[in-house]
Amino acid sequence: MTPFRLAYLLLKSARPRQWIKNLALYAALIFSGFFFYVPGSGIPYFWTVTQAFGIFCLLTSTIYIFNDVVDAAADGEHPFKRKRPIASGELPIPIAVFAAFVILALVFFFSLEFSSFFRIVILAYLLLQIFYAKVLKHQPILDVISIATGFLLRIYAGAVVVNLHMNVWFLLTVVSASLFLAVGKRQSERTLLGEAKLGNTRLTLRKYSQRLLDQYTGMFANATWLTYAIFAFQNNIVFDQPANERFVKLYTLLPRTLQSEKLLMLTLPFVIFGVMRYLALVYEENRGESPELVLLKDKTLLTDVFVWGITVFAVIYL
C-alpha cells in the first residue's frame, strides 16, 4: 500500500464531512454579538473559536477512527458501513489505532493554549463518546440523549474559550434539534435495514418500534422550532452599539405597527421550513441516516440554512 493510499484511507476514516457538526462551536460567538470583537490581547474572538473548532475536528476524527475499530464486525453487516476502510479490511486496524492515538495526543497538545475549562470539556466529550461506544449506544433512549449531550458540549466548548454566556433557550434548541436529528437517523436506519437485520448493526433498533419513533420525531420536531421561537423572542436588539447606528436610523422610519425589538423572530420561518423539509426527507425519501449528507446534498435545505444564517447576521450585526 502506498503512503498516499494509506493517507487517503485514514482521512476517509476520519470522516471530514462530519466536521460540519463542530460548527456548533461558533453558536455562542454569533448569537452573543461578539463575532467581530477584538479584545485587549489583539486576538479576535473569531480566531480563538476557529482554533477550538480545529481541535474539535481532530478530536471527533479520532473518535470516529476508534469507533470504526470497535464496530468493524457490526459495520460489515451494514449495506453502507461495510464499505468503510476499516470494516472492509483495507485499512489495517493496528495502523488505524496508532494514527488515532497520535491525533489524540495532538488534540491535548494544542488545547494547552486554552484554559483548563476547555480541556475539561474536551475530556468530558471524549469520555462521553467512549461510554457511548461501549454502553450507551446499546441502550434505547440513552443513545439519542448522549448524541444531544455531545452537541451541547460543542456549544460550551466554543463559549468557554472566549468566556461567553449562552442563552438557555438556545441551548434547549440545540438539544431538541440534535434529538430530532438522532431520532430521524434511527427512522431511516430502521427502514433501510428492514426487520430481518435490525439487530445486526445496532441492537437498539429492535427496541424502537415504528410507532414509538413517530412519536419521538413529532415531539422533538415541535420542540425544536418552539424553543428557537422563544429564544428569538427573548433576543433584543441592543441599540446603543455603534455598529447598529445605521440600523437604528432605518428602524425609526418604520411605522410603530412594524417596529419591534424582537427582529430575530424574522428567522423563525426558515427554522420551521427546515424542520418540515427534513421531516419530508426522512419520511418520503428515507434520507435521514446521515444528517450531514442531507444538509450538504439537499439543495432546498442547504439554501434554507444559508438564508437563515444570512438573516441572523443581518439582524444581529447590521
How confident is the model over 151-161, as pLDDT tens digits? 999 999 999 99
pTM, entire model: 0.84
Comparison of pLDDT for 245 and 290, the residue scoring more:
290
Which band of pLDDT confidence, cut at 50, 70 and 90, is reported for residue 167? confident
Q: Work out how many domains the chain is built from and give that number.
A: 2
Say if residue 146 is in the same domain as residue 175.
no
Is residue 136 pLDDT above 90, yes or no? no
The sign one gets for the Cα dihedral 285, 288, 290, 293 is positive
Candidate ranges 12-16, 106-110, 240-244, 291-295; pick with highest mean pLDDT: 106-110
**Amino acid making up residue 226:** L
Domain boundary among 166, 184, 203: 166
Say if residue 116 is in the same domain as residue 18.
yes
Is residue 295 pLDDT above 70, yes or no? yes
Is residue 55 pLDDT above 90, yes or no? yes
Instruction: Tell me what pLDDT residue 257 has.
Output: 53
Q: Which long-range contacts (CB under 8 A, 24 or more apart) does 79-83 make?
A: 79/192, 79/193, 80/289, 81/201
For 249-288, the pLDDT digits (tens) are 555 665 655 545 578 888 999 999 999 999 988 888 776 6
Taking all residues of the chain, what is their mean pLDDT, rounded to a whole number? 84
Task: Select from 262, 245, 231 the least CA-distant residue to 28.
Answer: 231
Say if residue 241 is in the same domain as residue 230.
yes
For 97-132, the pLDDT digits (tens) are 999 999 999 999 999 999 899 999 999 999 999 898
Say if residue 138 is in the same domain as residue 179.
no
163-190 average pLDDT score: 87
Domain with 292, as residue range(s), is 167-318
186-215 average pLDDT score: 71
Which band of pLDDT confidence, cut at 50, 70 and 90, is reported for residue 242? very low
Domain boundary among 106, 132, 166: 166
Say if residue 155 is in the same domain as residue 24.
yes
Is residue 203 pLDDT above 80, yes or no? no
Say if residue 224 is in the same domain as residue 312.
yes
C-alpha cell at 130: 467512549
Say if residue 7 is in the same domain as residue 156.
yes
Say if residue 144 is in the same domain as residue 172.
no
Q: What is the CATH number of the domain that holds 34?
A: 1.10.357.140
C-alpha cell at 297: 446534498
Say if residue 284 is in the same domain as residue 314.
yes
What are the two backbone dihedrals, phi and then psi, of residue 35, each rounded to the nearest 5 degrees? Answer: -60, -35
Spell out a b/e string for 26-63, using b for 16 or more CB atoms within 10 Å of the CB, else e: bbbbbbbbbbeeeeeeeebbbebbbbbbebbbbbbbbb
Say if residue 85 is in the same domain as residue 171.
no
Domain boundary among 134, 166, 198: 166
Q: What percent of the chain has pLDDT over 90?
A: 42
Say if residue 178 is in the same domain as residue 310.
yes
Which band of pLDDT confidence, cut at 50, 70 and 90, is reported for residue 240? very low
Say if residue 5 is in the same domain as residue 146.
yes
Which band of pLDDT confidence, cut at 50, 70 and 90, is reported for residue 88? confident
